[in-house]
């Protein structure tokens, strides 16, 4: 099974919030999986940000043509289950021949 990982491409396929629904169907790059209470430098704004301790689950910080919950453009926070990987895992030459035949 393919795992989400930083630097990979993914498609946003859902949202729990009304604000996040504007991003459904958009392709994004995964920057990092942020744990509640974790501090990190936002790659778009350059500002140190902290995911609130009250967050019940980790969220992916994604970048691209998306809008954050506060209306800022260029990044958003997305739950793992709402991301579909777009990068294909490497396929061996044997597997490719089997698909073509």
Q: Model confidence at 12, in pLDDT bands (50, 70, 90)?
A: very high
Mean local confidence (pLDDT), 48-56: 88
Q: Measured between alpha carbons, how far is 45 from 75 in angstroms, rounded to an integer?
A: 9
Please, which residues bridge with residue 48 across strands? 41
Can you give the pTM of this predicted structure? 0.81
pLDDT at 96 > cutoff 50: no
Tokens matching residue 11: 């498609």
Q: Model confidence at 71, in pLDDT bands (50, 70, 90)?
A: very high
pLDDT at 91 > cutoff 60: no
């Amino acid at each position: 099974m393919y795992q989400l990982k930083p630097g990979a491409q993914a498609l946003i396929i859902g949202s729990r919030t009304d604000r996040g629904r504007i991003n459904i169907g958009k392709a994004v790059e995964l920057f990092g999986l942020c744990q509640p209470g974790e501090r990190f430098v936002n790659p778009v704004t350059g500002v140190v940000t902290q995911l609130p301790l009250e967050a019940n689950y980790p969220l992916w910080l994604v970048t691209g043509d998306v809008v954050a919950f506060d209306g800022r453009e260029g990044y958003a926070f997305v739950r793992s289950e709402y991301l579909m990987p777009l990068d294909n895992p490497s396929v061996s030459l044997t597997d490719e021949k089997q698909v073509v035949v």
